[in-house]
Structure 1
């Protein structure tokens, strides 16, 4: 009385499981990328406020923040779900 496993699995569940097998931990990765983008953006905003108040902002620190924002923003962008029309 063996049943065909392909027929006994809900098609939606099967689709989700196959998508997870292709890109494991996508939700966790995207949450991490989003948190890092937010952190870099907050750091850049803090530096901008300090600069607008007349304080000196080191150009190296500014480049690090801009680089981090660009890098993590690109990682968030490249990790998007490309199947959504």
Structure 2
């Protein structure tokens, strides 16, 4: 019976590795690269926020407003998208646990 054999092997592995470490491995197997995706979302969001601050300051200073305003809106959109994806990832991680 391969089903009962695989269950016994999983139990042996769990005992050998420790239950906490085993659960982390299972979570990584269910959602690979979650930590990497969250890191990328954080980096892109930070970049968008910094860009938004730069273009907002250009707009407030009155320098090249015709091009700074669309760029400001784009940077806000990038930040909002990264924030939404990060929250979506956190929500999926919460459901998995």
Identify the TM-score tier after normalising by the shorter chain. 0.7 to 0.9
Where do 4+ consecutive residues of structure 1 move more than 4 Å? none
Specify every segment of 5 or more residues in structure 1 that has no aligned partner in the other structure, as ranges. none
Higher relative contact order (CA 8 A, sep 6+): 1
Give the Cα separation in 2 of the matches to 1:73 and 1:15: 27
Which of 24, 47, 61 pairs up with 2:55? 47
Q: What TM-score results when the alignment is normalised by the length of structure 1? A: 0.81
Structure with a larger share of its residues in helix: 2
Listed as ranges, the gaps of 5+ residues in structure 2 are 1-7
TM (norm. structure 2) is: 0.72
From 6, 9, 12, give the equivalent of 2:10. 6
- Aligned partner of 1:29 in structure 2 is 37
What is the Cα-based RMSD across aligned positions, in Å?
Answer: 2.2
